[in-house]
Amino acid sequence: MDAKESTNERTASRKKKSKRHKENPDEAVGEDYPIDIWLLLASYIRPEDTVKFSLICKKAWTVTCTAAFWTRLYRRNPAVPETTPSTLKNSNCLLFWCRKIEGNRREPMWEFNFKFKKQPPRLKSNCCKGLQPPVQYEDVHTNPDQDCCLLQITTLNFIFLPVVMGMIFTLFTINVSTDMRHHRVRLVFQDSPVRNGKKPRLDQGVQVILDPVHSVRLLDWWHPQYPFSLKA
């Protein structure tokens, strides 16, 4: 009997709340917590739960637009995995520079850096078109290196390269060097992008061959070792 009475009381309470909501649809239902509470809760979420947290309510989403949220998230997770060079397709070469570095051997090695602007994927859905960050957090989302990555190739000696700045990077291959101890990298740059499903024509582009190669790395703009300011 006590269980039935408790169930009936909960059902009646829900009906009253539903009736009040129908009579006053503009009246807010639930508690409205300040944004400081959501900022505090955001300090305990995992990086992979950022999207779930932002979908709780509008204030939770506003917290994910602040610089404090991303700064704390980065300090708790400084180790970011690197990307494989195979992800580079039809990228615009914005910048190129090389520098001499100290290697494991007695003589120095050379580091070739290609900064690319990757083409963003085409989205057919416009569901998030009207969702814009708050005006006071515009500086947080201003990123000139958005969708950029750095292809870093270290060679055992200096290799002269032609001018490729502003060209479209269309092909990347890596295999074993002629000495069977290092790598051999081949890059192809063209003046116009290649259509999907078609192979780039080598006679219409600039081919760059680096051999022997000591190491190859691809760093996204969010990687800790990505050079935001060019000092090389």
* Placement of tokens 């989403």 in the chain: 61
The answer to whether the peptide bond before residue 227 is cis (omega within 30 degrees of 0) is no
Q: Within a 10 A sphere around the Cβ of 189, how many other Cβ atoms?
A: 24
* Counts for the chain of helices (H) and strands (E), in that order: 6, 6
Residue 153's pLDDT is what? 94
Cα four-point dihedral sign 84, 222, 55, 33: positive
Give the predicted TM-score (pTM) of the model. 0.61
Say whether pLDDT at 27 is over 70. Answer: no
What is the per-residue pLDDT across 155-212, written as a single tens digit (0 to 9) for each? Answer: 988 999 888 888 888 888 999 988 888 999 999 888 877 666 566 666 678 889 999 9
Residue 35's pLDDT is what? 86
| Domain ranges, ordered by start, for the chain | 2-25+33-76, 85-119+135-220
Mean of all residue pLDDT scores within the chain: 77
Cα four-point dihedral sign 13, 16, 22, 23: negative
* Mean pLDDT value across residues 135-144: 72
What is the per-residue pLDDT across 86-114, written as a single tens digit (0 to 9) for each? Answer: 556 667 777 888 888 886 666 788 999 99
3-class DSSP assignment, residue 184: strand
